[in-house]
Chain A
């Protein structure tokens, strides 16, 4: 390949930022000093450079964080360093919403206007901010700052939320919630996070059950110091890892299989079966990936786990790596979670320093380490194969399955991928099945399986938000009814009644109040045509503008479709147009598609939804019409 790079040279700041990720350039061909005697005619390092393609995303982050945008010279420098064709790198940079390929001020507030924040008045905050700073994306205050709308930031329990990204020599990223216009402008002007709140109070805001002795997954959340490995150990930390190493990989997988643990990311695949399939693959090496790209609107449980109990994530990843014969683990975290990323990164370093990661894990002689990779604003990268592509330094476009990740995953190798909550359950199983601090782990799988119901074992986290008195992450055993869960969260404020509940997020379904006695299990929700999805339970009272919510969901999928396959790329556009026509039937009357009857429009929506569900490559397109169709099927929910 003949790398063709045009344009001016990168600035010293850009080069330094990229070099901080990639190391200094060793050759003139890659941007360093050129020695004519040794490099006059021979290009070296092509394969070496290309083998580091997976560092493209971190290098792009470095540019974005340093100068607030990705410039052509900056991108060219990355291309030279990694031997990536500029057209491909440009394709990657323009895929992710957090990368700016056009001029953008260094300080930007990303204001969430997604479902939960809308319910909490995000549009009012945005209108106020627009009055103070001008329209979205326009530079304000002499070009030093700006604001943008953002999809769900995963802070739904404290909505409305904002994420601040401050580029510069010492880049800062921080989230804040709840925000108002004054705190947004203040945060931008000060370019600093609000003073540290009381950590325990903040934990209680996310975990209302804090201190309940029945908690297993959340037992340590808000109780331990998330920055102290000693405190983690004092609360049963690394016990499960020691148990796993003591019983060996096969027995570890057996316990997980016995537990009947099913993946909590939405697909509900049996975790034990996944692990044993990876462990049995002859191809080497094996990889272990933790999917922390929790981007489903309304979901924030993984963020809470990572922020409040980060060592548990590190320990469970290590166990999974051990069981599946992996030598390296990757944790892919969404770019909207700066605090969780900082805590996880710190936990990995502390675990490495204490010998729980590295060439000799916990004295076992087995070598394992974890790398953190930060996403850059793409919901689709929560899809496992899109996530692999993203780590590999490509556009986050899902692969066709089969082959499945257990056989052909990250870098084309057998890969065990689980999300954060699934991994948290592993600690309970290997800890003895009762809680993280008991037992030698043997029989833990069977004890875990006794929790919950026959088809859905163990405890489950739910992200309760919207019209409830105490939103937050709740841990209940499987089999708890929707009504019982809502009672935990307190009644609907203002004595209003429930009109609808969104189960499973934007990719889930709306149900009415008549389903309150449904058991929250995989099989129970399936029976009412719903799914648990990522554990979102969002409550809408009678005053809510559900039509606006549906249009926001349609806009979300239109924005987040990767654009690879036709059904999703065009279907999400047609769906959004159709909803706009339904919501405003007079606007287009007499012309074009605006003159159609409601029944015709609903029939068309059914056709669109069916083609997306049947013919799309991945779960995003397959579920993009789910919530909208479910709401429109129930005229008592939405009068459209």
Chain B
């Protein structure tokens, strides 16, 4: 149908002749179907082939597409590089420094996760210098943070295995110091810390503190936070664009915080839970998982995963339902899903209670 078809018939000769109706231009835009609309969505134009860059990694000559990172080049070659703050669905922030590699001609080590490859680059991932740095950085992390839940199933893999591989011994800095009281770390102003005495320094300062439980959906245990910035990215412009959390404070007192450290219900949080999905250490956790762990009933070996599609809206997000004892205990989405990139909304991630409502007269009771 073209715009002509909508035009009123020419008036007959004689009789009453009203002025012909002319549709205002902005209405016409709405009611007019453009001509020649295709019935099939056209294929996107073929992507220009990226030219290849050739570089040396551990003495091997490797070709990867231009714009790749050293990490991508390493993984394409099967060279293992540990990461903590990197995740495939987020912008690299290169803050954890466990992925550092040696680039010939560079004064300091370079983060593999964000350094782009250059032609002729000579990269060492297993040199003594690289191993020494990774070892101490892992020791720094393990001596200041509770990494007990950064296990094999965590988004960045098994932290304990990293420690073993690099021979890291966090106890070199002394036993972990006792936890801070609730709100104590948040009260530390930038630039003014308490310098330890000799006896205080016999144990290593940590970020240990009470768990923050302020809502029914998820808990924040910042004793386990390595400050990888991933939750901030997922809450911000890498996924959710809610900006409910940011890094506050400075130095060792830096922390993930809502504005003025208010509880999540008072913050801008929309409970999408995408921060949980990217957390590498279990600092952010479903409350269901947290409660089951506290009760000693959490058993990953007894859990199965069922892939399904979210029932709520038409987007069709892929869900992985983690089920234990015929009960959904956690919902995630695969990072490689083209629909979600691993991110969900509050309904997909937390809105599963109705499936297991087993009161009297309900199915399953």
| A563 to B246 alpha-carbon distance, docked (Å) | 13
Given A566-B137, A587-B199, A615-B109: A574 and B173 interface contact (C-beta under 8 Å): yes
| A426 to B95 alpha-carbon distance, docked (Å) | 37
| A553 to B65 alpha-carbon distance, docked (Å) | 46
* B244 on the A face (CB < 8 A): yes
Given A87-B259, A87-B267, A571-B140: A97 and B190 interface contact (C-beta under 8 Å): yes
| A558 to B253 alpha-carbon distance, docked (Å) | 10
Are B243's CB and A102's CB within 8 A?
A: no
Are B136's CB and A608's CB within 8 A?
A: yes
Are A566's CB and B243's CB within 8 A?
A: no
Given A578-B201, A592-B202, A607-B132: A90 and B191 interface contact (C-beta under 8 Å): no
Are A570's CB and B140's CB within 8 A?
A: yes
Q: Which of B157-209 touch A at CB < 8 Å?
A: 172-175, 187, 189-193, 195-205
Of B108, B195, B202, B266, the most chain A CB neighbours within 10 A belong to B202
Are A559's CB and B199's CB within 8 A?
A: no
Are B190's CB and A96's CB within 8 A?
A: yes
* A604 on the B face (CB < 8 A): yes
* A266 on the B face (CB < 8 A): no
Q: Which of A404-439 touch B at CB < 8 Å?
A: none
Q: Which residues of A contact B251 (CB under 8 A)?
A: 558-563, 569, 572
Q: Which residues of B contact A558 (CB under 8 A)?
A: 193, 195, 251-252
Are A562's CB and B250's CB within 8 A?
A: yes
Minimum CB–CB distance for B5 against chain A, Å: 35
The secondary structure that dominates the B interface is loop
Of A378, A567, A614, A615, the most chain B CB neighbours within 10 A belong to A615
| Interface 0/1 of B37-54, CB less than 8 Å to A | 000000000000000000
Residue of chain A at shortest CB distance from B226 = A566
- In the complex, which of the residues B173, B254, B258, B268 contacts A563, with contact meaning CB atoms closer than 8 Å? B254
Are B246's CB and A87's CB within 8 A?
A: yes
Given A566-B96, A610-B136, A616-B108: A577 and B204 interface contact (C-beta under 8 Å): yes
Given A572-B252, A573-B144: A594 and B136 interface contact (C-beta under 8 Å): no
| Interface 0/1 of B278-309, CB less than 8 Å to A | 00000000000000000000000000000000
* B348 on the A face (CB < 8 A): no
| A561 to B175 alpha-carbon distance, docked (Å) | 23
| A41 to B294 alpha-carbon distance, docked (Å) | 47
* B94 on the A face (CB < 8 A): yes
Q: Which residues of B contact A97 (CB under 8 A)?
A: 189-192, 250
Q: Which residues of B contact A580 (CB under 8 A)?
A: 195-198, 200-201
Q: Which residues of A contact B191 (CB under 8 A)?
A: 97, 151, 377-378, 559-560
Given A400-B111, A614-B133: A563 and B97 interface contact (C-beta under 8 Å): no
| A1 to B109 alpha-carbon distance, docked (Å) | 37
A-B contacts, 26 of them at CB < 8 A, read A1-B241, A87-B258, A90-B246, A91-B247, A94-B250, A400-B111, A400-B115, A555-B193, A561-B250, A562-B251, A566-B97, A566-B137, A567-B137, A571-B140, A576-B196, A577-B174, A580-B198, A583-B198, A584-B199, A592-B175, A593-B204, A607-B132, A610-B136, A615-B137, A617-B94, A617-B97
